[in-house]
Amino acid sequence: MYSKEVIKHFKNPKNMGFMKDPDGVGEIGNPQCGDILKLYIKVKNNKIKDIKFETLGCAVAIAVSSVITEMAKNKTIEQALELTEENIAEKLGGLPQFKMHCSNLAAQALKKAIKNYRKRDLSR
Amino acid sequence: MKKKEIYLDNAATTPVDSAVLKKMQPYFNKKYGNSSSIHKAGDSARKGLDEARQQISTFLNCLSEEIYFTGGATESNNWLIYGVVDKFWENGGKNKPHIIISSIEHKAIIEPAKYLEEKNLVEVTILPVNKQGIVELDEVKKAIKKNTILVSVMYANSEIGSIQPIKQIGELIKKTNQEIVFHTDAVQAINYLNCNVKYLNVDALSISGHKIYGPKGVGALYLKKGIPIAPLIRGGGQEHGLRSGTENIPGIVGLGEAINLVSKNNKDNNRIKTLRNKLITGIMKDIPDVQLNGTLEYRLPNNINFSFLGIEGEGILIELSEQGIYVSTGSACASHSLKPSHVLSAIGLSDEESHSSVRFTLGRQTSNNDIDYVLNILIKAVNRLRKISGR
């Protein structure tokens, strides 16, 4: 059903769990299937220094969460904002068509976390 | 060493019993004749066909000529709905007829009914079910109208195993109007419940081969003599002109033998139920925040359906699958339509509860060791996924 990469990330997800005092949080729920994906980021010198996730979702939702944390880590904010659902799916060795919305979910959550960080940064 | 595999998805399909397979084999290349041929090769194929029809009619307590072989229960269900409505119009029906189905039917009933409704050929009433997933007699009573020609209620539900009061519904219908055709989709019931059609008061009943340790791609429709129906598939006039196409003799022979074995194996049902109850008790004792969907009282002995709150059923399914345990889920995530199970919605589950549901369906091959193993792996899987979800 799923690629080896998807199963690998699902079985051993990277950067999983709650983060204390994050600089930005992005939570996004999928209105289509009910998955909920939450990303926490810590930013230093415009770079994502740390990133963690909590996801209630299917195997693919968990795999995209894990892989996006790996992809975004140590990237600049601008680079991170450029990550697309296609990049994520590609990194996972492809996704079945009906699961593409999961990778979109991860990209959206990251954008939301960055937006949240920028808003907090301005108010500091 | 070969990895352990535990198949707990017997409501989806079952392995072909070795005795069934053995009985089918000669019909592929030794008794390969066309049963419509009048030479001896045709005779030997026809013998297999006749014996299977006999085995099934014995099981259902009906005449052998009341059994029609089909390409599976989906075809049986489609044919019944289309055929009864088609015949109604063919016979000069004037006012739009009315049919009644339940909200937890298989899609093979719901979709044909909706199609005919869209084409403006019938009115459809969809019966609600209570929280236990049971159709209440009062609802049937309320739904029957002057123009009702067909009622179809499944015998037992595939997702939550709920057993419908078919006998009582049949009585009620016959008391109200003898002309109404009463059909039941008995696909999930054959293995475990009394399928005597006279006891059940049904006029039509659908059967599938592959849910009863028989082959895929073969099924049957019991249709009481005299029930007006038009064919769905026209051609060479096989099956009394009502279902054309050269008979799938190996499949039909397999279906007959599979049904024959069901009556021989019914002692096994108590063993399956004991194992089922052991898994239910284990889950309730060892895993917090779970809910059993459906009722324990009127439930197929092999069915379990739980919601594991705070996580997602598809995730559990994939994790168990990686460990060689095969189950099913009503979660939207596992369906291409991204919609939760219509059955779980019908019994009042929220989308979140459906999202977290997992179905385990035991079978003849399930052992006591399997249950211990599954419980152990399941506890770990649920704990891990709850950690990931932070819930």
Query: Both tokens of residue B135?
Result: 């159709």
Whether B183 and B86 map to the same domain: the answer is yes
Phi-psi category of residue B278: left, alpha or beta, with phi > 0 → left and psi -120 to 50 → alpha: alpha
Looking at the domain assignment, is residue B200 inside a domain? yes
Mean pLDDT over B205-214 rounds to 98
Mean pLDDT over B169-195 rounds to 97
Whether B243 and B323 map to the same domain: the answer is no
Across chain B, where does the E strand assignment appear? 6-7, 67-70, 98-102, 123-127, 148-152, 181-185, 204-208, 219-223, 290-292, 303-308, 325-326, 357-361
Name the band, by pLDDT with cuts 50, 70 and 90, for residue A39. Answer: very high
Instruction: Identify the domain containing residue B361 by its residue range.
Output: 267-389
Q: Which of A33, A57, A60 sits opposite B338 (nearest CB)?
A: A33
Domain boundary (B213, B230, B264) is at B264
Q: How many whole angstroms separate alpha carbon B231 and alpha carbon B244?
A: 8
Instruction: Check residue B242 and give its pLDDT.
Output: 97
The string of pLDDT tens digits covering residues B60-75 is 999 999 999 999 999 9
Whether B234 and B196 map to the same domain: the answer is yes
Name the band, by pLDDT with cuts 50, 70 and 90, for residue B338. Answer: confident
Name the band, by pLDDT with cuts 50, 70 and 90, for residue B1. Answer: low
Q: How many whole angstroms separate alpha carbon B117 and alpha carbon A28?
A: 39
Q: Which of A7, A17, A62 sits opposite B322 (nearest CB)?
A: A7
Q: Are strands B325-326 and A47-56 parallel, antiparallel or unpaired?
A: unpaired
Whether B249 and B272 map to the same domain: the answer is no
Across B283-380, where does the E strand assignment appear? 290-292, 303-308, 325-326, 357-361
Instruction: Check residue B312 and give its pLDDT.
Output: 94
> What's the gap in Å between the CA of A118 and the closest CA on chain B?
25
Total domain count for chain B?
Answer: 2
Name the band, by pLDDT with cuts 50, 70 and 90, for residue B331. Answer: confident
Is-catalytic flag, A33? yes
Domain boundary (B264, B290, B315) is at B264
Name the band, by pLDDT with cuts 50, 70 and 90, for residue B326. Answer: very high
Burial of residue B66 (CB within 10 Å: 0-12, 13-18, 19+) is: buried
Domain boundary (B264, B285, B300) is at B264
Indicate the angle between helix axes B313-322 and A59-72, nearest 10 degrees: 90
Paired strand residues for B306:
B292, B358
Domain boundaries, chain A: 4-122
Looking at the domain assignment, is residue B3 inside a domain? no
Interface subset of B 327-366, CB within 8 angstroms of A:
331-334, 336, 338, 340, 351-352, 355
Instruction: Check residue B253 and give its pLDDT.
Output: 98
Name the residue among A71, A78, A73 with its Cα closest to residue A114. A78
**Which of the listed CATH numbers 3.60.10.10, 3.40.140.10, 3.40.47.10, 3.90.1010.10 matches domain A4-122?**
3.90.1010.10
Looking at the domain assignment, is residue B31 inside a domain? yes
Whether B32 and B131 map to the same domain: the answer is yes
The string of pLDDT tens digits covering residues B117-145 is 999 999 999 999 999 999 999 999 999 99
Q: Which of A5, A58, A99 to mutate to test the interface with B (most CBs of B within 10 A)?
A: A58
SS3 B203: coil
Instruction: Check residue B166 and give its pLDDT.
Output: 98
Name the residue among B73, B59, B60, B84 with its Cα closest to residue B180. B84
The string of pLDDT tens digits covering residues A43-72 is 999 999 999 999 999 999 999 999 999 999
Q: Residue A98: which H helix or E strand, with range?
A: none
Whether B345 and B323 map to the same domain: the answer is yes
Q: How many whole angstroms separate alpha carbon B137 and alpha carbon B353?
A: 27
Looking at the domain assignment, is residue B37 inside a domain? yes
Contact at 8 Å (CB) between A109 and A36?
A: no
Which residues from chain B sit within 8 angstroms of residue A18, using beta carbons?
Answer: 390
Could you tell me what percent of chain B has a pLDDT over 90?
94
Looking at the domain assignment, is residue B311 inside a domain? yes
Name the band, by pLDDT with cuts 50, 70 and 90, for residue A32. Answer: low
Which value does ipTM take for this structure?
Answer: 0.93
